[in-house]
């Protein structure tokens, strides 16, 4: 009986020892797995960090390139706008000079025509006022009336000629002043808008 109990105790002790060994093996295996998982996690974290850094550098380089391109485009647009403004200013100045020249020629023609008209009117007055050699020594009443009408008509023609000269001179002065004012005005320069391209 004692022998059987001892044998049972021996088997139980062996089983306990085997269980302990098994537990140790399992613990060592779990520790190795945990170490492997930690190492894998570190490697993956390193890869992810390296990927993020590469993407960050690529994005920064792309933004810089886009900014440089936008700046170059803005400079080109500004230069083009300046050239356009200068071209328009030169065209306006040339048109104003042409208009001024035309106005001066028109004024000269009108003044010349008015002066010619005044000379003609003065000639008529002079001819009307000059004494004519009468056929008879005494003029009849009808002849006197005719001479009076001619004198009045001549005076009226002179007044009209003078009025025409004044009107032409006044219009000429207005045309010249308007043309000179147009030459003095210059188109206002409009600043070119800078456009920057945004990358997403």
User: What confidence score (pLDDT) does residue 182 get?
Assistant: 60
User: What confidence score (pLDDT) does residue 143 get?
Assistant: 56
The 10s digit of each residue's pLDDT in 41-64 is 888 898 899 999 999 999 999 999
Asked if pLDDT for residue 149 goes beyond 90, the answer is no
The 10s digit of each residue's pLDDT in 135-144 is 554 455 555 5
CA–CA gap between residue 146 and residue 48 (Å, rounded): 122
pLDDT-based confidence at 7, cuts 50/70/90?
confident
Q: Are 122 and 160 within 8 A, CB to CB?
A: no
CA–CA gap between residue 93 and residue 177 (Å, rounded): 15
Range ranked top by mean pLDDT from 63-72, 126-135, 165-174: 63-72
Asked if pLDDT for residue 133 goes beyond 80, the answer is no
CA–CA gap between residue 157 and residue 127 (Å, rounded): 13
Q: How many CA atoms, within 13 angstroms, populate the side-chain half-sphere of residue 48?
A: 6
Q: How many CA atoms, within 13 angstroms, populate the side-chain half-sphere of residue 31?
A: 6
Q: Which comes out higher in pLDDT, residue 151 or 56?
A: 56
Can you give the three-state secondary structure of the chain, one letter per residue? CHHHHHHHHHHHHHHHHHHHHHHHHHHHHHHHHHHHHHHHHHHHHHHHHHHHHHHHHHHHHHHHHHHHHHHHHHHHHHHHHHHHHHHHHHHHHHHHHHHHHHHHHHHHHHHHHHHHHHHHHHHHHHHHHCCCCCCCCCCCHHHHHHHHHHHHHHHHHHHHHHHHHHHHHHHHHHHHHHHHHHHHCCCCCCCCCCCCCCCC
Q: What is the pTM of this model?
A: 0.36
């Amino acid at each position: 009986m004692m022998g059987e109990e001892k044998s049972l105790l021996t088997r139980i002790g062996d089983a306990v020892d085997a269980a302990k060994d098994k537990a140790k093996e399992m613990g060592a295996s779990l520790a190795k797995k945990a170490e492997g998982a930690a190492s894998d996690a570190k490697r993956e974290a390193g890869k992810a960090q390296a990927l993020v850094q590469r993407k960050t550098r690529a994005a920064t380089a792309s933004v810089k390139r886009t900014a440089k391109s936008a700046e170059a485009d803005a400079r080109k647009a500004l230069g083009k706008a300046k050239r356009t403004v200068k071209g328009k200013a030169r065209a306006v100045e040339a048109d104003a000079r042409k208009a001024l020249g035309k106005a001066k020629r028109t004024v000269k023609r009108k003044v010349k025509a008015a002066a010619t008209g005044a000379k003609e009117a003065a000639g008529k007055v002079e001819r009307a006022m000059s004494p004519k050699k009468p056929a008879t020594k005494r003029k009849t009443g009808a002849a006197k009336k005719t001479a009076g009408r001619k004198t009045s008509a001549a005076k009226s023609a002179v007044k009209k000629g003078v009025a025409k000269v004044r009107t032409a001179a006044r219009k000429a002065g207005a045309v010249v002043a308007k043309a000179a004012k147009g030459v003095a005005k210059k188109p206002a320069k409009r600043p070119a808008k800078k456009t920057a391209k945004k990358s997403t």
